[in-house]
Amino acid sequence: MTDTPRERLAAFLQAKGIKATAEFAHKAGITTRHAANALTGRPVATVPYLRICAALGFDPLPELSYRIPEPADFDFAFFAMGFKIARGLKGDKDRTAADAIGGISASTICRIELAHIMGIGVVLRACRYIGLHPFGYLRVPQAAVFGLKTDVSRGTPSISKAYGDRTLITEVP
């Protein structure tokens, strides 16, 4: 029985018969080193791990169903806010939350809430504790949402909105 996230991912990749690291690394938007590590069950950082999962359709936390999105980066700051709010609503102190999650300390709870980058094992256990899937914390690229383009004269990102034959350009705050 595989019990760590990296072992589950490696077993999934082997079951799918994936051998070409460059091909699925490109699809996931990660380096070939991350892809090779995932194939062999070696440690993979949280962002590449979730990018691989999204690109290949592997659900890292199947008990919390969620649609599989396009590969994107994990937003640790957004996760920190959500985690802190959920812990507050549960009424748990740092130590109580750490005991409920299991395998982490109260100082790790503090680090999660300060948006420190955590390993995939900690992220998955914390997501299970608050009841939200990690794919819910993937960043949506702003260009896809707002139609960002760069104002060449200023070199700053701007949002363009088409109004008939005119285009209104406003700076992103």
Question: Does residue 18 fall inside a structural domain?
Answer: yes
| pLDDT tens digit sequence for 5-39 | 999 999 999 998 887 788 888 988 999 999 999 99
| pLDDT tens digit sequence for 76-124 | 999 999 999 999 999 999 999 999 999 899 999 999 999 999 999 999 9
State the residue range of the domain holding 51. Answer: 5-56
Question: Does residue 26 fall inside a structural domain?
Answer: yes
What is the per-residue pLDDT for 142? 57
Question: Does residue 30 fall inside a structural domain?
Answer: yes
Shared domain for 107 and 123, answered yes or no, is yes
Q: How many CB atoms lie within 10 A of CB 65?
A: 8
Can you give the CATH number for the domain in which 80 is found? 1.10.260
Q: Average of pLDDT values for 155-173?
A: 44
Domain count, the chain: 3
Shared domain for 97 and 132, answered yes or no, is yes
Q: How many CB atoms lie within 10 A of CB 92?
A: 17
For residue 161, give every residue at least 6 positions away whose Cβ sits within 8 Å of its Cβ, in sequence order, or none. 147, 167, 168, 170
pTM of the model: 0.74
Question: What burial class does residue 88 get, using C-beta atoms within 10 Å of its C-beta: 0-12 exposed, 13-18 middle, 19+ buried?
Answer: exposed
Residue at 63: amino acid letter: E
Cβ contact 25:48 at 8 Å = no
